[in-house]
């Protein structure tokens, strides 16, 4: 009986997540809205973070270099965790599950859990703002948009994004603690 209740709860949770994905995906159908999130996702695929890592030493000298180095290290750790977790979970993307979700851009890989874009965005934002709090107004909103773009474009479920944020935040916290 408990197994059946758990199964039904899981089905409801998955149904809710798909409904959220469908709603956000539908709301992004105006061409300019979709294009905006495509650009955000493209920048969040590393380009914005690599630029920041390049600019930090120019802006802050040795302190900026140390921050950029920390971001590079956390990027490697997150990449390893991300790849391993995706292979272990094998969760299909929302666009593969629901015919009502239009894929906004081609996925970088097959599986959705966790959101690597969000994992990196949260981790990089935490590292950058811990060392340079004045960057908060720039990197936090950008990271939020990156996370949202992944759902809007039909690539991730809300729990993929939440998990990516939690994992990225936890890894950044560990790095900042040492």
Tokens of 86: 């995706």
**CA-based Rg of the chain, rounded to a whole angstrom?**
17
Contact of 125 with 176, CB cutoff 8 Å: no
3 state DSSP class of 99: coil
Tell me the per-residue pLDDT of 34-58, one tens digit each, with 9 for 90 and over.
899 999 999 999 999 999 999 999 9
Q: What is the CATH number of the domain that holds 26?
A: 1.10.606.20
- What is the domain range of residue 166? 2-177
How many CA atoms are closer than 13 Å to the CA of 135, on its beta-carbon side? 21
> Is the confidence at residue 159, as pLDDT, over 90?
yes
Per-residue pLDDT of 5-23, as tens digits, reads 877 887 888 888 888 888 8
pLDDT tens-digit series, residues 82-130: 999 998 998 888 888 888 888 888 888 888 899 999 999 999 999 999 9
Angle, helix 136-152 to helix 31-42, in steps of 10 degrees: 120
Q: Are 152 and 117 in contact (CB under 8 A)?
A: no
Distance (Å, whole) CA 8 – CA 167: 27
Statement: residue 74 has pLDDT above 70: yes
Q: Supply the mean pLDDT for the chain.
A: 91
Q: Between the CA atoms of 133, 138, 144 and 147, what dihedral angle is there, to the nearest 10 degrees?
A: -110
- Rounded to 10 deg, the angle between the 136-152 and 2-27 helix axes is 110
- The pTM of this model reads 0.89
The predicted structure's pLDDT at residue 148: 94
For 115, the 3-state DSSP assignment is coil
Instruction: Give how many domains the chain has, as a whole number.
Output: 1
């Amino acid at each position: 009986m408990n197994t059946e209740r758990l199964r039904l709860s899981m089905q409801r949770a998955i149904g809710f997540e798909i409904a959220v994905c469908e709603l956000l995906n539908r709301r992004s159908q105006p061409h300019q809205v979709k294009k905006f999130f495509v650009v955000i996702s493209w920048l969040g695929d590393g380009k914005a973070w690599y630029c920041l890592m390049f600019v930090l030493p120019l802006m802050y000298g040795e302190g900026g270099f140390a921050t950029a180095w920390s971001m590079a290290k956390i990027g490697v750790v997150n990449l390893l965790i991300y790849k391993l977790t995706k292979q272990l979970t094998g969760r299909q993307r929302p666009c593969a599950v629901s015919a009502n979700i239009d894929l906004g851009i081609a996925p970088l890989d097959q599986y959705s859990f966790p959101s690597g874009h969000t994992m990196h965005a949260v981790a990089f934002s935490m590292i950058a703002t811990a060392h340079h709090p004045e960057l908060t107004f720039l990197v936090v909103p950008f990271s939020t948009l990156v996370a949202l773009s992944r759902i809007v474009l039909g690539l991730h479920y809300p729990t993929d994004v939440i998990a990516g944020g939690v994992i990225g935040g936890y890894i950044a916290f560990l790095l900042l603690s040492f």
